[in-house]
Amino acid sequence: MKSKIIPAVTVLALSLATSFAQSGATTSTANSQQPPTIQQRKYNQQQRIANGIDNGSLTVGETKNLERGEANLNREERGMRAADNGKLTAADRTRLNQQQNALSNKIYADKHNANNAHYGNNEVGQRRLAQQKRIANGIRSGKMTPGEATRTEGKEQHLNRQIAGMRQANGGKLTPGEHQKVNQEQNKLSKQIYAQKHNGKTGF
């Protein structure tokens, strides 16, 4: 039986192919282990807030406060970039990451506390729910900035308090006049949400 001799060139080619494959796998693994950028973290946190609105684990007040924190952080980042020709220093990145960590913890805590959003099955409650869904979609898509979401949720919170006061004064019900007033306020909020989502500003 004749022995087969593999040419040296073939051995070299196989060795190089194996080496390149291992190198590519190592690079891919290293890239997948890189921490998320500041921009990615902003996007991720807005998605988490939007999900909390959708499933009711974030109340209007909690959302307002979280978005205010996001807006303040964005404002601080813009100031840092303006001071360094559009770039962030290593110290800037460290500070922003620390603040994003704090916001991330706050989002988790708010979504897992005992407070949940309750809208009711009546007409007013269903409109409140629908508008919260629109806000969540605006946050998720980036069509609403954190500042816009903060202002809108502030108005939603104010209206919710008005509705609660009206119901408390009338045995848990709204009078026809109160229904009309609430609908007018909800119409204004609806127009504001639409305008914010179509003004060209982006949230991340």
Region 3-9 average pLDDT: 50
The answer to whether residues 140 and 46 touch, using CB atoms and an 8 Å cutoff, is yes
Domain ranges for the chain: 38-197
Rounded percentage of the chain residues whose pLDDT exceeds 90: 81
Question: So what's the pLDDT on residue 16?
Answer: 47
Work out the mean pLDDT of the chain and round it to a whole number: 89
Measured CA to CA, the distance from residue 150 to residue 157 in angstroms comes to 10
Per residue in 136-190, pLDDT (tens digit) is 999 999 999 999 999 999 999 999 999 999 999 999 999 999 999 999 999 999 9
* Exposure of 108 in the CB half-sphere (CA atoms within 13 A): 6
* Residue the block writes with tokens 């921490």: 35
CA distance readout (Å), 191 to 102, 186, 199? 33, 9, 12
pTM of the model: 0.82
* C-alpha pair distances (Å), 40 with each of 44, 45, 97, 145: 6, 9, 11, 15
Mean pLDDT of the region 104-115: 98
Question: For residue 7, what pLDDT is reported?
Answer: 53
Please give the Cα distance from 32 to 23 (Å, whole number). Answer: 14
Closest C-alpha among 103, 182, 199, 108 to residue 148: 199
Query: Is the pLDDT reported for residue 18 higher than 60?
Result: no
